[in-house]
């Protein structure tokens, strides 16, 4: 079984987040995704402290599809340095993990 990863990307609006999720899933770079938000973020950007409202996209993919997914997200994102992070899942329901693998490799 392939290693399944959870990928998270921040977006400036629900519409942008939904389009990022939709594009990744339609391209089979991710098996599925959820849009969560809004969330309030606190950060340093270009040397200035700030806060703002963001939306989170949570995607499920496999380790071997991650590089393509990251490239896709960077190309489709309006920010020049978007927050994109990924973590391998330590465990999960076997049929679900199998579905992620099948879906991203069809």
The pLDDT of residue 32 is 98
In a domain, 102, yes or no: no
Residue 28 counted as domain residue:
yes
Q: For residue 50, is it within any domain? A: yes
Q: CA-CA distance, 52 to 97, in Å (whole number)?
A: 34
Domains contained in the chain, number:
1
pTM flag (> 0.85): yes
CATH code where residue 18 lies: 3.30.70.120
With respect to residue 103, please indicate whether it lies within any of the assigned structural domains.
no
Containing domain of residue 44, as a range? Answer: 4-90
Averaged pLDDT in 10-residue chunks for the chain of 106 residues: 94 98 98 98 94 97 98 97 97 97 93
Please report whether residue 22 resides in a domain: yes
Q: What is the predicted pLDDT for the residue at 106?
A: 77
Q: Is residue 10 part of a domain?
A: yes
- For residue 34, what are the CA distances in angstroms to 10, 43, 50, 76? 12, 23, 26, 17
Check if the beta carbon of residue 103 is closer than 8 Å to that of residue 24: no
Residue 106 lies in a domain: no
Convert the pLDDT of each residue in 4-21 to its tens digit: 999 999 999 999 999 999
Domain assignment present for residue 85? The answer is: yes
């Amino acid at each position: 079984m392939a290693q399944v990863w959870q990928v998270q990307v921040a977006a400036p609006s629900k519409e942008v987040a939904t389009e990022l999720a939709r594009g990744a899933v339609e391209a089979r770079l991710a098996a599925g995704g959820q849009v969560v938000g809004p969330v309030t973020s606190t950060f340093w950007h270009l040397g200035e402290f700030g806060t703002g409202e963001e939306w989170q996209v949570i995607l499920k993919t496999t380790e071997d599809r991650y590089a393509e997914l990251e490239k896709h997200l960077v190309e489709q994102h309006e920010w020049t340095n978007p927050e994109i992070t990924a973590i391998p899942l330590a465990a999960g329901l076997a049929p679900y993990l199998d579905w992620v693998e099948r879906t991203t490799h069809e």
